[in-house]
Structure 1
Amino acid sequence: MKAPIIEIFSSFQGEGLLIGERQIFVRFAGCNLNCNYCDTNDSKFTESGKTMTSGEVSKIVKKLITPDCKSISFTGGEPSLYPEFISEVSQNFDLNIMLETNGTLPENINLIERLDMVSLDIKLPEHFDGEFDESIFQNEIKSLNLLIAKSINVYCKVVILPSTKIKSFKEVVEKLSQNISNKSNLKIIIQPSSPLGEWKDINSKLFEFSEVVGQYFDVSTIPQIHKILDIE
């Protein structure tokens, strides 16, 4: 089986619940969305990647394993475009398997045979130029409920921009609360977009966003640490 790969590398996880942990990252090329804040624009297009077999990817991953590395992160682009490929690579390792996804392809996510953790992005209207497609949010909800039903450790990440309005943010969080089958163990990570220097009055805004989420979910606010450390 083959898939377009942008890069395979070892680094510290810079986002979410596993922040600071050493991981091996497999970054796929190709994405079904076009978010305006994307910091890996080259990974949006399949032609940007190198076509590789699952065996070739597994061979590189094996060479990158170090004693402090406990997991593989499949990222992109949108890795859930390649569920069978992820399953083939994963079966070669005892490491934990993490998926970083936009959550808009629930049927594909369901095909991945083994997942230990999922970081699922919740998209906001401000993330897109033009009219927001409501099916994006509906599919994210489907993916979340699917993963929760399968007892897979999943958390949501919401990227906020300097232009993000508290009203639209609150509406999305409320809808999320109303449509999740079991929200007791679901955590929301608020991630301010990088670079932080583009923000004005960031502190007061972050407290306000956190208070909104805290009405419904456990919440943490975590910037992109790998950008601060200036690592990949």
Structure 2
Amino acid sequence: MPLETKLTARLVEIFSAIQGEGLNVGTRQIFVRFAMCDLRCKFCDSAHTWGIPSQCRIERTPGERDFETHSNPVPGSLLLQWVERQNQPGLHDSLTLTGGEPLLHAPFLVEFLPLLQQFTPLPIYLETGGHRPEQLAMILPYLDSVGMDIKLKSVSGEEHWAAHTEFLQLCHNSSLELFVKLIVDHNTDPAELEQAAQLVAQVSPQIPVFLQPVTPLESSNQPLRVPAPEQVLAWQALMKGTLASVRVVPQTHKMMDQL
């Protein structure tokens, strides 16, 4: 399929794996991981994505971790070829745009996603920090589902309530599949969880919310502690006072040693 040569992406990696978080947990997906993030969450397990690497790694065979390396930036035409190589018939349930923060690449995506949709019937799923509504609006027509974070200052060090509100409303208005994810740790402030529940409920109390206990990082100097069971039970009960669906799901891909 012809593509303008000026259309390029800054990537970290492309690979096939089992989704470990949120509404699509357990499904097989093609992951396109973009470089760059404008947030600095304390619990981040992908700090290597914050900048732009000189090279990206591309899986040759789905799930085999037989990576090859290529220089950044990557032509859009080559990215389509790599997706085609991953997309074996019947294997994948969707294609995930992840990062970093994929919406930092909205000018690329607004041109690339229509071509991708012509290329494959796989649903397009966006994983995002949920804090860039203007960029979201650019690519909403090409998305099938969105998993957005609400950042809790007590856990992440980040706080974006106004942007989260606008972002969530845009997603809800578009009628795509939508869920919200909140990372929680031992120091989570229940008042922030209550504020998050009210934010979601004002848009729609039917939006599924996932509480995700933090996974401590061996390489991190940050004092991250998994919340106690009684904390999680209390937080779920607190949020269910406002919301219809609040689920507690850990990062299952890490249990399986998936990327």
Taking structure 1 as the reference length, the TM-score comes to 0.89
8 Å Cα contact 2:11-2:73 kept in structure 1: yes
Matches within 5 A, 1:26-175: 26-47=32-53, 50-66=72-88, 67-87=90-110, 88-89=112-113, 90-91=116-117, 92-112=119-139, 113-129=141-157, 133=159, 136-175=160-199
Q: Distance in 2 between matches of 1:17 and 1:176?
A: 16
Q: Distance in 2 between matches of 1:213 and 1:62?
A: 42
Question: What residue identity is the alignment partner of 2:161?
Answer: F
Which of 232, 236, 240 is 1:210 aligned to? Answer: 236
Instruction: Give the equivalent residue in structure 2 for 1:16.
Output: 22
In the TM superposition, residue 201 of structure 1 has moved relative to its aligned partner by 6.3
Instruction: Give the equivalent residue in structure 2 for 1:185.
Output: 206
Using a 3 Å threshold, how does the CA distance of structure 1 residues 201 and 70 change in structure 2: closer, same or farther? closer
SS in structure 2 opposite 1:82? Answer: helix
In the TM superposition, residue 13 of structure 1 has moved relative to its aligned partner by 0.2
Q: Distance in 2 between matches of 1:200 and 1:20?
A: 22
| Count of matched residue pairs | 225
Q: Distance in 2 between matches of 1:29 and 1:62?
A: 21
Using a 3 Å threshold, how does the CA distance of structure 1 residues 81 and 169 change in structure 2: closer, same or farther? same
Q: Distance in 1 between matches of 2:170 and 2:199?
A: 17
List structure 1 segments (4+ residues) > 3 angstroms apart after TM superposition.
195-201
8 Å Cα contact 1:109-1:143 kept in structure 2: yes
Matches within 5 A, 1:211-230: 211-217=237-243, 218-230=245-257
Q: Percent identity?
A: 30
Q: Distance in 1 between matches of 2:122 and 2:129?
A: 23
Q: Distance in 1 between matches of 2:41 and 2:226?
A: 22
Contiguous gaps of at least 5 residues in structure 1:
none
State the superposition RMSD in angstroms: 2.0
User: For 1:17-62, what per-residue CA distance to the aligned partner results, in whole angstroms no more than 9, with x for missing partners?
Assistant: 1000000000000011111111100011124653112211111111
Q: Distance in 2 between matches of 1:32 and 1:169?
A: 23
Q: Distance in 1 between matches of 2:217 and 2:229?
A: 11
Contiguous gaps of at least 5 residues in structure 2:
1-6, 57-71, 219-223
Using a 3 Å threshold, how does the CA distance of structure 1 residues 54 and 201 change in structure 2: closer, same or farther? closer
In the TM superposition, residue 81 of structure 1 has moved relative to its aligned partner by 1.1
In the TM superposition, residue 213 of structure 1 has moved relative to its aligned partner by 1.4
